Amino acid sequence: MSKELVPLGIFELFLLKHGLMLEIHRFVALHFVALAIAIFSHPGANFAMATMRVVPPTPPPGTLQTTILVVGANPAIQKTLTIPATLLPGEVHRATSVQEGVGGKGQNVAIALRQAIVEGKLSSAEVCLHQFAGKNNVGKLMSLLPTTGSRWKVKTTEIDGATRTCTTIVDIKGEATEVIEPTGSVSGGDVKSFLEGLPGRACDVLILMGSVPRGTGEGFYGEIAKRVSGENTTIIIDVGSADLVKGLLQKEGLTAKFVILKCNKNEIEKMANSGGMVDGVLATMREWEGKLDAALITDGGRECLFAEQLRGEVKLKTLGIPKVQVKNAIGAGDCVAAGFGWALANKGKGKKDEGEGEGEGEGEGEGGILEDAAKFGILVGAAGCSSEICSGYDKEVLERLLGA
């Protein structure tokens, strides 16, 4: 079976490194103890441990079509080489297989959401991917993306040069080494064309994924959000750059229903200049009090950390990762973001009510709307590890996890 391969993230590399039959739950106990100790050392944090009962998100009856806009400003062509030995610097290695596919965080999210549409799980949604692409190989990039349809669209702004290539070498131990070409540059005219190509109305869910090309500026995501978000829009930003987060949250005139940060442990620690995941998320949530509603932090195969602003206090929960048989962990972290947006899109439209993020309501799981969406995203990420197709998820595994 051919695969669409995408760049490996921290979550994916951890799983891949520990073998195709990794049972994630073996790591849970040890790291939960360390994380719990760290959290309890912060008297200002309200900590609770969450169970993983998740209600499958379904749109309310009569819900109008929901629009999900995914921005993948920095795509890549992914080439993966497999070698039958341990990778050694300075040695000649001969690959036994070469696979090529689309890469880029936004592209991965959009492909997973398209699968949900095809399977009827996003029956009221339209997904649109907006991206830059180098003129020299735009045809190749587009050929690697799924065919567009009535509710799956791709808007490409062509720029000079070629889209970067990410080369991943996987050795006999399953360890992956990546070589990523430099990100290209865009002109002021390119940025203008990208922004003018955005929808002329507010979307329901805006997912901003990954790095941006040189020349866009730290306020690029903020400008996009200002143009396509409104009082009913949920914004998810998945980046490892404090400047991009700042450019979004400080954007004058920005309105949104929820703003959510998703990143990994290394990224939150770097962004907050902190010595630990708990320190980093607490510092970030407090810095952006009133602007950032929640954060979901992944940590490889270990528990995730979910943080939410509730009445001026940061509420923390650890969210476990279910046991799955790993077939292909590439793109699983982006499936988490896709599942998060998918769950929120299926919650339907409506203004944010007082205290909406807290407590258990009709049709909800054990947490509030954002916590339940985070849990669902984690399940989609786990199902992504069980799929042989990159950027997608295993439908049967997801249904099993939801029924557990």
Q: Residue 111: what pLDDT? A: 92
Residue 184: left (phi > 0), alpha (psi -120 to 50), or beta?
Answer: beta
**Candidate from 24-28, 110-114, 317-321 with smallest mean pLDDT:** 24-28
- Strand 294-299's sheet: what is its strand order? 46-49, 313-319, 302-310, 294-299, 258-264, 234-238, 205-209, 66-71, 125-134, 152-159
Q: Is the dihedral of CA 167, 173, 174, 177 positive or negative?
A: negative
**How many CB atoms within 10 Å of residue 251?**
18
**Average pLDDT of the segment spanning 95-110:** 91
For residue 83, is pLDDT > 70?
yes
**How many CB atoms within 10 Å of residue 92?**
5
Give the tens place of pLDDT for each residue, 305-358: 999 998 889 999 999 989 888 776 777 889 999 999 999 998 754 445 444 554
Show the tokens assigned to 106.
């936004």
Q: Rounded to whole angstroms, what are the CA distances from 166 to 77, 254, 266, 329?
A: 6, 34, 21, 16
**Average pLDDT of the segment spanning 113-135:** 91
The rounded distance, in Å, linking the Cα atoms of 234 and 239 is 16
**Average pLDDT of the segment spanning 218-247:** 97
**Average pLDDT of the segment spanning 219-229:** 97
Q: What is the mean pLDDT of the chain?
A: 82
Nearest Cα neighbor of 61 from 126, 124, 125 is 124
Q: Residue 47: what pLDDT? A: 58
**Average pLDDT of the segment spanning 128-152:** 91
Give the tens place of pLDDT for each residue, 292-313: 999 999 987 789 999 999 888 9
The rounded distance, in Å, linking the Cα atoms of 309 and 356 is 11
